[in-house]
Structure formats: structure tokens, C-alpha cells
């Protein structure tokens, strides 16, 4: 059981998995690592953006059942997860009222519990969710110089660093509609294209600064690195 599929919400995360995470994780015993957009978003003609939890859960369970030799995780933005109504993701609404350091784990534990309640326990053991705080762009602020160079705008390094310095970690860059990490980048980079420029920046930065500066991301990466020997 050495294959790993990372269920993501859009093409940016898909490329990040395939171009950045895959080459790293194959060194830890995985025979295959690939990304899969959750909830059949691509089939719906969508370019990304997270769906409600019920269809995503159905997609996850179906994929686990159809691929008995595969482990699965997620990489979805906390910022965008639906909080209310039939689309709500377990734990998301409650997490907003918790201290920052507890939010991701609260949602991840709720997702795992919800899925495990609907499958045989052995199937549930092959799933471990991950929620990116607050969204993918937060990881890019782990190295502001490399971030700016990766998108061809080295002149913005100081402005990126000013944003980064306002928070204890890049993952804490907040999640309001006006100040989420991607919104801050869009305010500085006219025509910012997340799928292209975001991944170019990630390639320039590398996993080292991301895991050093982003403890929630580091916890997930370390889990993936050791999952096969648990």
C-alpha cells in the first residue's frame, strides 16, 4: 500500500503536488504520488474552488473503495471551506471560534470522524485529511525573496516581507475577503495568475522554507514522510 493520492481543490494545488511534492515523497517509499481534484470539479467544467462536503466525501470514499492499495489525503484551503447549510464541511464553523493553532486540527479531525463513521474502519485508516491555513498563497510567504523572484517581480520582495512580518507565521495571514493571502498578492501583482505564478513561486521557494516557516504544513508533510512506516 505505497501509493498516495492527494485530493486537491483546483489546478494550482494539483500542479504543486505533481511538481513539488511528488519528487520529494517518492524518496520516502511511495511508488506513486499524484493529485486528484475533489468532487469531480474538472468534470463539471470548473477551474477550481471547493465543493460542498457531501459530494467530496462521496468522491473520497469511492476512490478509496476502488483503489485498495492506495492511501489518501487532502489539500484544501481553510479559507474557502463552506461553513453553513448542506455544503458545510464538518468542523469549519466551530473552528472559526477557536484559537488559531487549533483550527486546522479541529477541521481535520472532524472530516476524518465524519468519513470514518460511514465506512469500515480499515478503509478509514487509509485517509488523513489536511487543511491549508489559510490558503495556498500563505505558504509562499515563507520566503518572500524567492516568492518575488519566482513570479518575476523581485521589486516586491520588501512589500511581501512587510506583510509577512505582521504575523507569527505565514499560515496566520488572515482570511477575510479583503486580506486573505491571495487577495494581498492580487493587490500588488496586476493580473496575478494563481495556477501559473503561484506554482512558479513554489518551485523557486522549495519545501525547505515552507516546512520551516509553516508548522501546520510541516506537521502534514512529516506525517506523509513517515506514514508508510507507521
Please give the pLDDT value at position 55. Answer: 93
Same domain, 154 and 108: no
Please give the pLDDT value at position 50. Answer: 79
Same domain, 129 and 23: yes
Q: Are residues 169 and 214 in contact, defined by beta-carbon separation less than 8 angstroms?
A: yes
Q: Are residues 116 and 128 in contact, defined by beta-carbon separation less than 8 angstroms?
A: no
Same domain, 27 and 99: yes
Which residues span the domain enclosing 144?
137-209
| Tens digits of residue pLDDT in 84-128 | 999 999 999 999 999 999 999 999 999 999 999 999 888 899 999
Average pLDDT of the chain to the nearest whole number: 92
Q: Which residues contact 185 (CB under 8 A, 6 or more apart)?
A: 137, 140, 192
Please give the pLDDT value at position 80. Answer: 86
- Residue 77's nearest CA partner among 6, 159, 160, 137 is 137
Please give the pLDDT value at position 40. Answer: 52
Same domain, 31 and 123: yes
Please check the confidence at residue 27 and state whether its pLDDT lies above 70: yes
Please check the confidence at residue 215 and state whether its pLDDT lies above 70: yes
Same domain, 157 and 113: no
Please check the confidence at residue 197 and state whether its pLDDT lies above 60: yes
Total-model pTM: 0.92
Please give the pLDDT value at position 49. Answer: 59
| Tens digits of residue pLDDT in 52-83 | 999 999 999 999 999 988 999 999 999 889 99
Amino acid at each position: 500500500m505505497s501509493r498516495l493520492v492527494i485530493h486537491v481543490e483546483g489546478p494550482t494545488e494539483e500542479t504543486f503536488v505533481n511538481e513539488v511534492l511528488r519528487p520529494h515523497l517518492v524518496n520516502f517509499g511511495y511508488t506513486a504520488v499524484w493529485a486528484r481534484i475533489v468532487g469531480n470539479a474538472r468534470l463539471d467544467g470548473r477551474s477550481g474552488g471547493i465543493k460542498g462536503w457531501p459530494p467530496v466525501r462521496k468522491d473520497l470514499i469511492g476512490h478509496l473503495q476502488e483503489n485498495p492499495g492506495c492511501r489518501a489525503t487532502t489539500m484544501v484551503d481553510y479559507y474557502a471551506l463552506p461553513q453553513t447549510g448542506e455544503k458545510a464541511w464538518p468542523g469549519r464553523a466551530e473552528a472559526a471560534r477557536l484559537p488559531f493553532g487549533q483550527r486546522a486540527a479541529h477541521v481535520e479531525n472532524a472530516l476524518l470522524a465524519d468519513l470514518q463513521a460511514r465506512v469500515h474502519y480499515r478503509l478509514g485508516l487509509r485517509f488523513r485529511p489536511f487543511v491549508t491555513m489559510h490558503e495556498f498563497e500563505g505558504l509562499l510567504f515563507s520566503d518572500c525573496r524567492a516568492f518575488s523572484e519566482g513570479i518575476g517581480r523581485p521589486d516586491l520582495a520588501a512589500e511581501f516581507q512587510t506583510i509577512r512580518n505582521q504575523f507569527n507565521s505565514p499560515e496566520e495571514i488572515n482570511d477575510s475577503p479583503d486580506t486573505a493571502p491571495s487577495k494581498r498578492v492580487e493587490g500588488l501583482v496586476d493580473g496575478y495568475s494563481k495556477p501559473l505564478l503561484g506554482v512558479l513561486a513554489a518551485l523557486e521557494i522549495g519545501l525547505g522554507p515552507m516546512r520551516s516557516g509553516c508548522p501546520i504544513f510541516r506537521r502534514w508533510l512529516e506525517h506523509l514522510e513517515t506514514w508508510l512506516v507507521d
